[in-house]
Amino acid sequence: MKVIRDPIHGYIELDELILPLIDTPQVQRLRRIKQLGLSNLVYPGANHTRFEHSLGVMHLATMLTSQIDSIENEEKEELRAAALLHDIGHGPLSHATENLIRHYTRERHEDVKSILRKGEISEILEDNGLDPMTIAAHIKGETDLGKIVNSEIDVDRMDYLVRDAHYTGVAFGLVDYVRLIHEMRFYENNLVVNAGGLKAAESLLVSRFLMHPSVYYHHVSRIAETMFTRAVKHLIDKGALDPFKLRMMEDDQLFELIRADDDYAGKIAKRLDERRLYKRALHVGHEVVGEGVMRYRGKVERVEAEIADMVGIDSQEILIDIPKRPEIAEMKALINMNGKMVRLDEASNIVATLEKAHFDNWKMGVYTIKEHRDAVGKAAREFFGAKKETTQYRFSDIEE
C-alpha cells in the first residue's frame, strides 16, 4: 500500500491492484493530457491533467463502494479499476478533440474495449481476477454498478467540478461531495440519493451551472479550441494525420505536428503559441438567432465560405462555433423521498429553474481576425437573421 497527497482529497491510497495499473503506458499518458484543453489561455493555473483527475475519481469510487454493503468485494475492485481507467480513451487536450475523433472513428472517449481487450492493462486485470470487458462496460455506464462512474450524478462529475474550480481559481466548486457520497445507495438497481443528500445534489447542479459560462464555455476557450480543432481537421483531411492514431497521442505530440505544417494548420499553431486569437464578430444566444441555427451545426464550413464571399475574404479567416443544445442529465437523477423515487428536478425548485438558465447561457460564435471583425459581424448577422439584442453585459463577455 502506498499513499499519495492530492490537493483536492488529501491522502489517496494505492494498493496492489491500482499501483500496477497506474504504471501502464496508457495511464501514464494521461499525465500529458490537459484536463481543460486550452483553458489555460484564460486561467493560467488550469494545467492539471487527466491523470490526477483519474486518481481522484478512483478515490471517490472507493469511498462510495465502501459504504454500500450490497456490493461484493470483487465488484468493488472492478469499480475502482473502472474509475481509474475511465479516461484512458481521451485524445489530446481532452474534449477539444473529442468531436473530431468521434466524427472520423465513430468512437467516444468512453469506448475503451479496444484498449482493454489486450496488452498490459488486460493482463493486470486478469491477474487480479477481473474481466476487462466487464470493466469496459462499467466505464460506459452500461451496468448498474457502472452508474457510480458514469450516470446522472457520478463520482466523475464530483471530482472534475471541484478540481477544475480549484485549478482555475473560480469560486464555483462548492460541492459537498462527501455528504453526497454518504447519502447515495442502490435501490432496485438504480443509484439514488437519499433525501438527506438533496442539498448536496443541488450544490453539484448549481456548481456545474456556474462553471459552464465561466470555464467550460468561456468565449476565449471556445475560440482557441475552435482554432485548434480546425487545424487538426486540416491535417486529417490532407492525409498528414491518421484520426485513429490521434486518439492515443499526447498534447505536445499533436501540437508539434501542427506547428510543423507549412500551411493553414501551421499558421493557426503560431497564433495559438503567441495568443493572437480570432475575435468575436458575433456571439449571441438563441433569443437572437432562433432555434433554426442548429441546422447549420454540421455545415459550418459551407456557411463560413458563404459569409467569406459576402465580405470578400478567405474563408479560412472565419470560424463558426455552434455548440450543441444544453443538456442537464443530472436532473434525471433519482431522489429517495421517504421510499418514493422522485426526479431531482421534481424534488428541488432550485434545480427545476436551472434548465432554462442553462439554455440562456448557450451562445453561438462567429470568429475572425481583428481586421475583419466589423465586416464579418455584419455579414454574419445578415446570414443568420440575427435580431438586434438588448445590450446586456456579463463579466465573461468583457474583452480582455
Per-residue pLDDT at 184 exceeds 50: yes
With 0-12 / 13-18 / 19 or more C-beta atoms within 10 angstroms meaning exposed / middle / buried, residue 190 is middle
From residue 143, alpha-carbon distances to 80, 189, 304, 377 in Å are 14, 9, 43, 48
Q: Return the C-alpha cell found at 276.
A: 493572437
Q: Are 111 and 142 in contact (CB under 8 A)?
A: no
Percent of the chain with pLDDT over 70: 97
Gap between the Cα atoms of 210 and 129, Å rounded: 42
Which residue matches cell numbers 439514488? 192
- pLDDT at residue 328, as a whole number: 80
Domain for residue 103, yes or no? yes
Q: What b-and-e string marks burial along 147-156, b requiring 16 or more CB atoms within 10 Å of the CB?
A: bbbbbbbbbb
On whether both 282 and 392 belong to a single domain, the answer is: yes
On whether both 111 and 143 belong to a single domain, the answer is: yes
On whether both 127 and 86 belong to a single domain, the answer is: yes
- pLDDT at residue 331, as a whole number: 84
Q: What is residue 371's three-state secondary structure?
A: helix
SS3 content of the chain, % helix, strand, coil (to 5): 60, 10, 30
How large is the average pLDDT for residues 22-48?
A: 98
Gap between the Cα atoms of 280 and 366, Å rounded: 6
AA letter at 328? I
Phi, psi of 359 (to 5 degrees): -65, -40
On whether both 83 and 130 belong to a single domain, the answer is: yes
On whether both 199 and 99 belong to a single domain, the answer is: no
With 0-12 / 13-18 / 19 or more C-beta atoms within 10 angstroms meaning exposed / middle / buried, residue 324 is exposed
Domain boundary among 168, 183, 201: 168
Gap between the Cα atoms of 335 and 342, Å rounded: 5
On whether both 318 and 372 belong to a single domain, the answer is: yes
Model confidence at 252, in pLDDT bands (50, 70, 90)? Answer: very high
Domain for residue 232, yes or no? no
Which residue matches cell numbers 447549420? 296
With 0-12 / 13-18 / 19 or more C-beta atoms within 10 angstroms meaning exposed / middle / buried, residue 241 is buried
Domain for residue 371, yes or no? yes
Domain for residue 240, yes or no? no
On whether both 282 and 368 belong to a single domain, the answer is: yes
On whether both 27 and 119 belong to a single domain, the answer is: yes
Per-residue pLDDT at 389 exceeds 80: no
Gap between the Cα atoms of 18 and 20, Å rounded: 6
Gap between the Cα atoms of 123 and 146, Å rounded: 21
Domain membership of residue 392 as a residue range = 278-325+362-400
On whether both 198 and 98 belong to a single domain, the answer is: no
Q: Are 241 and 257 in contact (CB under 8 A)?
A: yes
Q: Are 235 and 241 in contact (CB under 8 A)?
A: yes
Number of domains the chain contains = 3
Q: What is residue 340's three-state secondary structure?
A: strand
Tell me the pLDDT tens digit for each residue of 328-381.
888 889 999 988 999 999 999 888 888 778 888 899 999 999 999 999 999 999
On whether both 178 and 111 belong to a single domain, the answer is: no
Domain boundary among 168, 187, 202: 168
Q: How many residues does the chain have?
A: 400
CATH number where 8 lies: 1.10.3210.10
Q: Are 81 and 26 in contact (CB under 8 A)?
A: no
Q: What is the pTM of this model?
A: 0.93
On whether both 71 and 179 belong to a single domain, the answer is: no
Tell me the pLDDT tens digit for each residue of 93-147.
999 999 999 999 999 999 999 999 999 999 999 999 999 999 999 999 999 999 9
Domain for residue 191, yes or no? yes
Domain for residue 192, yes or no? yes
Q: Return the C-alpha cell found at 128.
A: 487480479
Tell me the pLDDT tens digit for each residue of 284-317.
998 999 989 999 999 999 999 999 999 999 999 9
From residue 147, alpha-carbon distances to 76, 79, 99, 155, 333 in Å are 13, 10, 23, 9, 11
On whether both 75 and 109 belong to a single domain, the answer is: yes
- pLDDT at residue 135, as a whole number: 98
Domain for residue 258, yes or no? no
Q: Return the C-alpha cell found at 188.
A: 432496485
Beta strands of the chain (E only): which ranges?
2-6, 10-14, 184-187, 190-194, 279-284, 318-321, 334-337, 340-343, 364-368
Domain for residue 244, yes or no? no
Per-residue pLDDT at 10 exceeds 60: yes
Q: Are 115 and 121 in contact (CB under 8 A)?
A: yes
